[in-house]
Amino acid sequence: MPHRHDAPSHNRAPIAPSASQLKQIVVPKFYKTFQCIGAECENHCCHDWTVTLDKDTYQKYKKHGDIKVRQIAQKHTSSCGQHSLNYRQIKMDKDGNCPFLDTDRLCYLHKYHGEEILPATCQIYPREDRLMGTDLVSSLSISCPEAARNILLDPSAMVLDLEPLSARQALPKFYLTGQIDDIETLRLFKDAAFAGLLAENTETVEGRLYNLGFLFRLTAQRLAQKEALRPLFTNFTQLIHDGKLNDLFAKTQPAQKAQEFVTQQLLGDGGFIRDNQAFTHYQQRAFKKVISKTQITQAADSNSPVAEGRLDLKDFYNSHCRQGFTSLVDSHGHAFINFFLHWVYSTPFDLTNADRLFARFAQFTLKFFYIRLICSLLADDEEHGALLVGVIHSISRRADHDTHLANEVYQRLQAGGMAQHEHFLGLIKV
Ligand code: SF4
């Protein structure tokens, strides 16, 4: 089960950063306009998650004056080790809901006892405020449907404001920290990544993701050769301006074998998306379309979409997905670009290890591949904005918080000799 805010190698500090640590706060528009919609939420945040309690919170609940709080602490939590920060785990009910979720779909703890009593996980989510050098970078997890709506549907959602400290009444109570060796190089890397995604002479959504992938590839190569990174970013921006990356993308061949493998994984066992009701709902609807349009059949003894038969993806994509994807981009091209920008903006990339860096991009490409396939198949059935929010937030709820599963698909590709840089760049093009 995923842990919310599972950010490997990055810790959440439980005390607000001091003013002396900070120079400015970076606040995107999507962050400013966010408000939790509570009972109206279509995929409540405690659904299908693991929520842990630290030792103090657990003791507080066990001795609480409200008998319901005491009972839930005693009967609906289980031990998860001796670590005082992750001491007990709330046991979700058979429908995947938190025992504190009331019949009106509001949190009992929050409703009757206020925000202060909530476990840290619930006080924070979906906020992801990260200390990066002297900046506090504010963000939201795209796995919350309301956050996803804010990020994806507003073309200007990714406009960033730099707030001086004096403009802030209060700093966040919790924030993410992590070892970043060279903040300035990371900043330059991100600037180059934004330039690739926003390149005026790149016309397609896929071309923009290719630009980003090429930056990851060049950076990983330099890291492997122990060469300085900063000169690369200037060269990269020049490549974009000269239209060289567009030419390369035009010449790139689809990585057909890898695409078919990844599609079979998605249809077979959800790839890295399992135990996620919201995503499974989209996946199964898309799978029915695949069945109705191809020779592929559903395995007789399975309730899940396990495919039998070979899928010629190129043929299938051209006949059944290309038109759907084109219509999605026509109506919501900005949603895809914001999805990419949000990922770059929010991720503290590790620029010290070539393999780890490229694996990050590979996992994001896999996620995009799944999103494109499913949304293209369902584009005729649902309002495009709602479809993109539904698919992107639900796939993110699993994929972003449990990298172990994404690694599994990545490793299977590696085992099949399909995890070279070329394969992932070739996954983008169908
Ligand atoms: S998922 Fe987001 S909108 Fe829904 S209840 Fe949680 S924080 Fe609120």
Ligand 1 atom nearest the C-alpha of 146 is: 3
Q: Give the per-residue pLDDT at 299.
A: 60
- Which of 4, 37, 104 for mutating ligand 1's site (highest number of atoms within 8 Å of CB)? 37
Q: Atom 2, ligand 1: which residue's CA is nearest?
A: 144
* Number of CB atoms found within 10 A of residue 15's CB: 9
Q: How many residues does the chain have?
A: 430
C-alpha 287: how far from its chain's center? 22
If residue 193 lies in a helix (H) or strand (E), which one and from where to where?
helix 183-197
Q: Give the per-residue pLDDT at 283.
A: 85
CA of 39 to the centre of ligand 1 (A): 9
Q: Give the per-residue pLDDT at 5.
A: 37
Q: DSSP characters for 221-285?
A: HHHHTT--SHHHHHHHHHHHHTTHHHHHHHHPPP-HHHHHHHHHHHHHH-TT--S-HHHHHHHHH
If you ran DSSP here, which 8-state letter would residue 309 be given? S
Q: Atom 3, ligand 1: which residue's CA is nearest?
A: 36
| Sequence ranges of the domains in the chain | 10-39+125-178, 46-117, 180-430
Helix ranges (DSSP H) in 99-169: 108-113, 120-124, 145-153
Q: Give the per-residue pLDDT at 274.
A: 60
Tokens 């494109």 sit on residue: 372
- Picking from 78, 117, 115, 45, the residue whose alpha carbon sits closest to that of residue 401 is 45
CA of 36 to the centre of ligand 1 (A): 5
Distance CA 368, CA 406 (A): 12
Tell me which residues have their CB closer than 6 angstroms to ligand 1: 36-38, 41, 44-45, 125-126, 144-146
CA of 112 to the centre of ligand 1 (A): 18
CA of 3 to the centre of ligand 1 (A): 16
> Phi and psi of 25, rounded to 5°?
-120, 130
> Phi and psi of 133, rounded to 5°?
65, -125
CA of 46 to the centre of ligand 1 (A): 8
If you ran DSSP here, which 8-state letter would residue 117 be given? G
CA of 70 to the centre of ligand 1 (A): 25
Please, are residues 399 and 347 in contact by the beta-carbon 8 Å criterion? no
Per-residue pLDDT of the chain (430 residues; tens, 9 = 90+): 333 433 333 345 555 666 667 888 999 999 999 999 988 999 888 876 778 898 999 999 999 999 999 999 999 999 987 777 788 999 988 878 889 999 888 899 999 999 889 998 888 899 999 988 888 999 999 999 999 999 999 999 999 999 887 766 677 878 887 777 789 999 999 999 999 999 999 999 999 999 999 999 999 999 999 999 999 999 999 999 999 999 999 999 999 888 888 887 777 665 556 667 788 889 888 888 887 877 666 665 555 555 566 677 788 888 889 999 999 999 999 999 999 999 999 999 999 999 999 999 998 999 999 999 999 999 999 999 999 999 999 999 877 766 666 677 788 888 888 888 989 999 999 8
- Which of 36, 105, 108 for mutating ligand 1's site (highest number of atoms within 8 Å of CB)? 36
Ligand 1 atom nearest the C-alpha of 41 is: 4
Please, are residues 224 and 354 in contact by the beta-carbon 8 Å criterion? yes
First and final CA of the chain: distance in angstroms? 32
Question: How is residue 174 written in tokens?
Answer: 């919790």
Type of residue at 430: V
Ligand 1 atom nearest the C-alpha of 38 is: 5
- Which of 98, 109, 115, 125 for mutating ligand 1's site (highest number of atoms within 8 Å of CB)? 125
CA of 143 to the centre of ligand 1 (A): 9
Type of residue at 253: Q
pTM attached to this predicted model: 0.90
CA of 165 to the centre of ligand 1 (A): 28
- Which of 100, 121, 144 for mutating ligand 1's site (highest number of atoms within 8 Å of CB)? 144
